[in-house]
Amino acid sequence: MTNITLRRHLTDKGHDPDLIFLLEDIASACRSTAYEVRNGPLKGNLGLTDSTNVQGEDQKPLDIIANDIFVETCANSPRLAALVSEEIEEVVWLKEPEEGDYLLFFDPLDGSSNLDTNLSVGTIFSIMRVTKDGDRNVLKKGSDQIVAGYALYGPATMLVLAHGHGVQSFTLHQGSGIFRLTHPSLTIKQDTPEFAINASRQRFWDAPIQQYVDECLQGKEGPRGKDFNMRWVASMVAEVHRILMRGGVFLYPLDDANRAKGGRLRLLYEVAPMAMVIEAAGGAGSTGTERILDLLPSEPHQRVATILGSKSEVDYIVDLHTK
């Protein structure tokens, strides 16, 4: 087992102490959330609540528990000015913003529909900076992120970070509660014949997505000249983590059923953080027509079309849209 802990890794990279403080709070929140997820059935925290979130989606008890953990834990960070959560309609301001303060965006429990079947779920997060005193603008491009990452609550609890030094993955040691570096300098394979998409929505897809999936399903006999595997877990964290570890592409495109909303996944605290992770590992992220990290959101809970993964596959899909 590696001896490099999360704290040592962050300090060795020379990060600002206030940023390290915030990242350690995020790691603590992920550790606590992993515990609640692991013990959800024993505590009676599965099923649904009587409430919905800002998107009108049914909330699970663990959605609310995970959100509360993040708000309470990360509010301790002295330079954290605001939080933007999937589960809270308004921006939560903790202090009068000053230049250099941090903004935290997060989806506290991605894939929570999988909880009742004991499949993998996770947390997605992103950190940006206040640019001037008194600036309460949280609508920033993904390219403004200084750190992005996610936690995966699976057979092992893993914390994945993209922070200017590539992509590193840390695994939680259950005995000590310490995150240790287990997967340094992750890069995405470019030629993996694997794609993840919700095929039940096929009747709604636009022509470029229809063509891409059809070509993949034709296998060696088709224009791609090779067999593909199709995957779908209904958890963005699980899908993206698999792609990060072994390549492929994840698609939740704009279609006739979600076009009026702008797409399915949220830009600021789901898609942009994952796009930063994927690009830092050598992959690409696009809506089909635009680079995800170049998008300027119009509101905190904006939705967007999403194509993430191996650069060769993303480029191919973008080319289909261009044609």
Looking at residue 319, its amino acid is D
Looking at residue 159, its amino acid is L
Q: Is 113 annotated as ligand-binding?
A: yes
177 to 21, 34, 35, 37, 77: CA distances (angstroms): 17, 11, 11, 16, 20
Query: Which residues, in sequence order, are CB contacts of 104 under 8 Å at separation 6+?
Result: 22, 26, 74, 80, 82, 83, 84, 125, 126, 127
Which tokens go with 263?
A: 């797409």
Q: Is 110 annotated as ligand-binding?
A: yes
Q: Is 12 annotated as ligand-binding?
A: no
Q: Is 239 annotated as ligand-binding?
A: no
Q: Is 107 annotated as ligand-binding?
A: yes
Q: How many residues are there in the chain?
A: 323
Helix (H) or strand (E) holding 41: helix 40-43
- Beta-strand relationship, 249-252 and 265-266: unpaired
- Using only the alpha carbons of the chain, give its radius of gyration: 19
134 phi, psi to nearest 5 deg: 80, 0
Kindly state the DSSP code that residue 274 receives in the 8-state scheme.
Answer: H
Q: Is 185 annotated as ligand-binding?
A: no
Directed axis angle between helix 61-74 and helix 17-38, to 10°? Answer: 160
Q: Is 77 annotated as ligand-binding?
A: no
**Known binding residues for substrate:** 110-113, 198
- Annotated binding residues for Mg(2+), written as ranges, equal 86, 107, 109-110, 270
Query: Binding site residues, as ranges?
Result: 86, 107, 109-113, 198, 270
